[in-house]
Amino acid sequence: MSERPVLPAYSMNQTNFPWLYERKVVGPIFEPWAKVMLDRARISSGQSVLDVACGTGIVARLAGARVGEAARIVGVDVSGPMLAVAREIEPSIDWREGDAAALPIGPGERFDRVLCQQGLQFFGDRAAAARELRRAVDPGGVALVAVWRSAREMPPYDELQRVAERHLGVEIHDERYAFDDADALRRVLAEAGFRDVQVETLSLTHRFPDAAEFVRMNAMALVGMSGADLGDEERQRVLEAIVEESVTAVRSFMHGAAGVWDMRTNLAVAVP
């Protein structure tokens, strides 16, 4: 099975959504965690890097700043629209469209560092994707995989989901937080052939300059993941109702227009 997109296709494939994602979500959420991942990976000059489920490319871009222009950096993602943004921002990186369960890399192509930030939980076949991560790592290299902890550990995400479910009338299986078990993460990597897997749980405080704007994008993701059969007009009506109630739900986390709350992740470091 192929990987499921990080955000619903009806949003992600709109002309402007990948840019909204890059400008409004990457900075507050993914850039701080990418820096943590690169620190844990001990990225250094000259190393080759593979970024799997790269989205608009923040991990690969930050890695590039550390390894230097001459180093080989490849970013892989299943979403063409997200990769289009990545290419526009940093054309020097080798961006490739492909499935994590069958990485678009050559039989002998190996990397010093293989990184997957918040992608594994979306893959339809996690075991196959883990084997591909193992295949991509140079014998002397290392792979790092990050997956979110449960939404229950990260208010207000759990409450935002409850709001959406009330309006949609369905239970939402939020894929973003669907692989929160540290032991399961360790096991899937070990079964893929990694001989040493260490998992730690980390927490960061995030600041969203415009909490209402973030809540809207989060609501779009939840509507998409709900699988609700809605026409365009009905979807928009329900979305607006969810957004209005969601802003109220996060009020206690707001400082002026900004939202401030913690996020928690499991980070695995795996040696082949």
Beta strands per DSSP E along 45-135: 49-52, 73-77, 94-97, 111-117
Give the C-alpha separation, 192 to 271, whole Å: 11
Give the C-alpha separation, 126 to 146, whole Å: 13
Higher-confidence residue: 8 or 25? Answer: 25
Average confidence (pLDDT) over 247-254: 95
Higher-confidence residue: 52 or 21? Answer: 52
Give the C-alpha separation, 52 to 63, whole Å: 13
**Which tens digit of pLDDT belongs to each residue from 112-147?**
999 999 999 999 999 999 999 999 999 999 999 999
Instruction: Return the pLDDT at 137.
Output: 98
Give me the chain's average pLDDT, please. 92
Q: Is the pLDDT of residue 9 over 80?
A: no
Residue 20's pLDDT band, with cuts at 50, 70 and 90, is confident
**Which tens digit of pLDDT belongs to each residue from 223-250?**
988 988 889 899 999 999 999 999 999 9
Q: Is the pLDDT of residue 1 over 80?
A: no
Contacts of 205 (CB under 8 A, 6+ apart): 260, 261, 262
Nearest to 132 by CA among 156, 106, 94: 106
**Which tens digit of pLDDT belongs to each residue from 64-123?**
999 998 899 999 999 999 999 999 999 999 999 999 999 999 999 999 999 999 999 999
Q: Is the pLDDT of residue 13 over 50?
A: no
Q: Is the pLDDT of residue 57 over 80?
A: yes
Q: Are 204 and 117 in contact (CB under 8 A)?
A: no
Pull the structure tokens for residue 94.
């080798």
Q: Are 270 and 145 in contact (CB under 8 A)?
A: yes
